[in-house]
A and B are shown apart, each in its own frame.
Chain A
Amino acid sequence: MRVTGRRYIIIIFVIGALALSACGAEISRSQNANMVDSVTLTNKGSDTIVNLALAWAEAYHVTYPNISVSVTGGGSGTGIAAMINGTVDIANASRKMKEKEVANAKENGFVPVEYVIARDGIAVIVNPQNPINRLTLQQLSDIFSGKITNWVDVGGENRPIVCLSREVNSGTHVYFLESVVRMGNKNDETFFSPSTLLLPSSEGITSEISHNPNAIGYDGLGYVTDAVKTVAVSPSDDGLYIIPTIKTVIDNTYPISRSLYMYLPEEATGYTKDYIDWIYSEEAQSIVEELGFVPVN
C-alpha cells in the first residue's frame, strides 16, 4: 500500500512538471510575439577578424538594441562554406573567395558580394631574447620552407629554428604561404617545411614564442602582444627594413599586408545591408584602429 501511494505521488509530480513546462513554453512564445522587431544576424569566419567583428557587433547592438549580431570564428574557409550553405548571413574572410567557392555559391543560387572592411599587417614574431631584429622576405621564405634551419645563417645565435604556423584552414596560413614562402610567385611549388608546427590558435603561437627562444612565427598585427618581438621586414635584399605599424600598413610600404573582407549574398537587403553600410561609418572604422587593424577610409 505504501508503495502504491508513493507511485501516485510520483505520477502527480510528473503531471505537474509537464503542466509547468507547458506553461513555460506558453510564456516564452508570447514574449517572442511581443518583440517582433528583434533580429539576429549571423556572422562567421576568419579568426583574424573575429575580435573586430565582435567589437562591431557590440557597438551596433548599443546603437540598435533590437538587432544583435552573433559572431563566431573558425577560419575564413569555414565562414565562406557556411555562407555558401546558407547557414550564416555574412562570412568574414582574410582572403579573397576562391573561384571554386564563388562557383559553389552560384550553384546554390546566389552571387556573393565582396566588401573590403579593413586592412591587416602580418607581423613576423620571435622571442624577445632573440637578437634578430630584421629579415628579408627571401630569408623568411628560406626559413619557413626549411632551407635555413639555424639562426646563425641569418646572423643570429647558434640555435635551431622552430617555425610556427597557423593551421591550414586559416586564411592567414594561405596568405603567408602565397606572399612570403612563395614570395608572390603563382607558379612556385615551395611548401612550408614539413617540420613547421601547425597550431590551432593565435594564442598557441604567442604562448610558444614567448617561452621558446628558438621559435619564429607570424600573426595578425592586432594579435601581437608585449611577450613577443616583431621583426622588421625588407621586400628585397638591398631594400629598407620596415617595421609593421598602422602607418606602414596604410601606406603599403610594409610588404606583408593585406585586405580583410566580408562576403554576403548579392540579394541580401534590409538588416544585413544596413549593417554592412554602418561598418563603413566613422564610428565603426575607429574600432578597427583600436584593435590594431588598419581602417579602410
Chain B
Amino acid sequence: MTKLVNRKMTFNTKYRQLLEFVVEAIIRISGYSAVVFVGLIFLFLMQESLPTFGEIQARDLWSQRWYPIENYFGVLPLLSGSLIITLGAALIAIPFGLMTAIFIAEIAPLWLREILKPLVEILGGVPSVVLGFLGITVLAPLVREELYLPTGLTAFTGAVLLAGMAIPTIVSVAEDALDAVPKAYRDAALALGATRWQTIWRVTLPAARSGVLTATMLGIGRAIGETMTVMMVTGNAPQMVSGLGSLFISLRTMTATIAAEMGEVANGSLHYHVLFSIGLILFLISLTVNIAASAVLFRARKRTERLLS
C-alpha cells in the first residue's frame, strides 16, 4: 500500500513538473504574442500602404478632395473628420463618464451601486449597429428639429452616439480604479476636516489617477476606431473641418471610408493602397495616443516616488 502511494507520488511530481513547464510556456507565449501581433500588423500595413507613395505624391494625399473613383485621394477631410468627431465624443464622454464613475464608487448607497454597475456594463454591450439604427430613427430627426439644422445626419449626432459607447468603458474602468483607493485615504482626509467633495476631488481622484487616465484612453480608443455607427449617422460627406462649428455639418471619417470602400476596390489598385495608408494613419494615431498616455503615467509615477522617498 505504501509502495503504491510512493509510486503515485513520484508520478504526480513528474507530471506536475511537466504541467508546470507547459503552462509556463503557454503563458510566456501569450505574453509575447501581443507584441508579435502588433509588429506583424504594422509590417502588413506598411507593406500594403507603401506602394501608394510610388504612384502619387505625398501632397496629393495631403489635399482636400476625396473622390477615389476619379483618383482624388486627399485624406485631409477624412483625417480632420475623424479627429473632430472623436474630440466631440471625448468632450461629452469624459466629464459624463467620470461623474458617473464617481457617483457609483463614492456617493451611491450600496444597493444602488449593485444595480447601476451591471446596468452600465450592459449598456457597453449594445451592438454598434443597434445604436446606429437608433441614431438614424430617433436622434437624427431630433438633432435636426431642435438645433434647426438642414439635416440631422451630422458629426454632432455621431459624436453623441460615440460618447454613448465610450461612457460604459470609462465608467467601468474608472470605477474600478476609484474602488481600489484604500479606505484609509478617505478616512484621513475626512478626519482632517475635508468635506466629502474635497475628499473626492483632492484625494480619491488623484490617487486613482492612473486608472482614470487608462479609462479615458480606452474610451477615446473605442470612439476613434468605431465604424458602423458613424457610417450610419454622420452623413459621410467628405468636407473639410474648419473649427468646432463643423461638428454641425456632415463629415466623413477614416473608418467609415475604409468600411464603405474596401469591399469594392480591386486588389493591388492605387485606391486599395490608399485605403491601407488610411489604416496606417489610424494605427499611428492610436499608437501616439497610447504612448503619450504611458509617458504621462510614467512621469506622474516618477514624481510620486520622488515625493515619497
Residues of A within 8 A of B (CB): 74-75, 77-78, 81, 84-85, 101, 104, 159-162, 167-169, 174, 191, 194-200, 204, 207-208, 211-212, 214-215
A-B contact pairs, 10 of them (CB 8 A): A75-B264, A167-B260, A197-B236, A197-B250, A198-B260, A199-B153, A200-B236, A207-B137, A211-B144, A212-B151
Q: In angstroms, how far is the closest chain B Cβ from the Cβ of A140?
A: 18
Interface size for B (C-beta < 8 A) is 33
Q: Which of B64-72, B93-101, B104-112, B205-213 participates in binding chain A?
A: B64-72
Contact status of A204 and B232, CB under 8 A, knowing A167-B260, A169-B261, A197-B153: yes
B87 contacts partner chain A, Cβ-Cβ < 8 Å = no
CB pair B265–A204 under 8 Å, yes or no, is no
CB pair A162–B264 under 8 Å, yes or no, is no
CB pair A169–B260 under 8 Å, yes or no, is yes
Which residues of B have CB within 8 Å of A159?
150
B304 contacts partner chain A, Cβ-Cβ < 8 Å = no
Which residues of B have CB within 8 Å of A81?
264-267
CB pair A198–B235 under 8 Å, yes or no, is yes
Other A-B pairs beyond A161-B150, A208-B136, A212-B144, 4, CB < 8 Å: A160-B150, A169-B263, A169-B264, A197-B235
B237 contacts partner chain A, Cβ-Cβ < 8 Å = yes
Give complex CA distance A222, B70 in Å: 28
Which residues of B have CB within 8 Å of A104?
266
B88 contacts partner chain A, Cβ-Cβ < 8 Å = no
CB pair A211–B141 under 8 Å, yes or no, is yes
Which residues of B have CB within 8 Å of A198?
235-238, 252, 260
Give complex CA distance A174, B151 in Å: 24
Give complex CA distance A261, B261 in Å: 22
Which residues of A have CB within 8 Å of B232?
200, 204
Of residues 147 to 161 in B, which have CB atoms within 8 Å of A's CB atoms?
150-153
**B interface secondary structure, majority:** loop
Give complex CA distance A7, B261 in Å: 52
Which residues of A have CB within 8 Å of B136?
204, 207-208
Give complex CA distance A174, B67 in Å: 12
Q: In angstroms, how far is the closest chain B Cβ from the Cβ of A77?
A: 4
Which residues of A have CB within 8 Å of B235?
197-199
Q: Which 7 A-B pairs have the closest CB atoms?
A: A169-B264, A197-B235, A77-B264, A160-B150, A198-B236, A162-B151, A162-B150
B290 contacts partner chain A, Cβ-Cβ < 8 Å = no
CB pair B263–A168 under 8 Å, yes or no, is no
| Residue in B141, B231, B261 whose CB lies within 8 Å of A168 | B261
Which residues of A have CB within 8 Å of B286?
none
Contact status of A212 and B137, CB under 8 A, knowing A84-B266, A194-B65, A198-B236: no
Which residues of B have CB within 8 Å of A161?
150
Which residues of B have CB within 8 Å of A160?
150
B239 contacts partner chain A, Cβ-Cβ < 8 Å = yes
Q: In angstroms, how far is the closest chain A Cβ from the Cβ of B51?
A: 17
Give complex CA distance A42, B236 in Å: 31
B77 contacts partner chain A, Cβ-Cβ < 8 Å = yes
Of residues 223 to 251 in B, which have CB atoms within 8 Å of A's CB atoms?
231-232, 235-240, 249-250
CB pair A214–B252 under 8 Å, yes or no, is no
Which residues of A have CB within 8 Å of B240?
194
What residue of chain B has the Cβ atom nearest to residue A169's Cβ?
Answer: B264
What residue of chain A has the Cβ atom nearest to residue B77's Cβ?
Answer: A194
Q: In angstroms, how far is the closest chain B Cβ from the Cβ of A252?
A: 27
Q: In angstroms, how far is the closest chain B Cβ from the Cβ of A215?
A: 7
Contact status of A208 and B151, CB under 8 A, knowing A75-B263, A169-B263, A194-B65: yes
Q: In angstroms, how far is the closest chain A Cβ from the Cβ of B137?
A: 7
What residue of chain B has the Cβ atom nearest to residue A192's Cβ?
Answer: B67
| Residue in A74, A208, A212 whose CB lies within 8 Å of B263 | A74
Of residues 131 to 173 in B, which have CB atoms within 8 Å of A's CB atoms?
136-137, 140-141, 144, 150-153
What residue of chain A has the Cβ atom nearest to residue B68's Cβ?
Answer: A168
CB pair B150–A214 under 8 Å, yes or no, is yes
Which residues of B have CB within 8 Å of A197?
151, 153, 235-237, 250
Give complex CA distance A161, B153 in Å: 14
CB pair B250–A195 under 8 Å, yes or no, is yes
Give complex CA distance A191, B151 in Å: 21
Give complex CA distance A268, B249 in Å: 49
Q: In angstroms, how far is the closest chain B Cβ from the Cβ of A21?
A: 25
CB pair A195–B264 under 8 Å, yes or no, is no
CB pair B239–A194 under 8 Å, yes or no, is yes
Which residues of B have CB within 8 Å of A211?
140-141, 144, 152
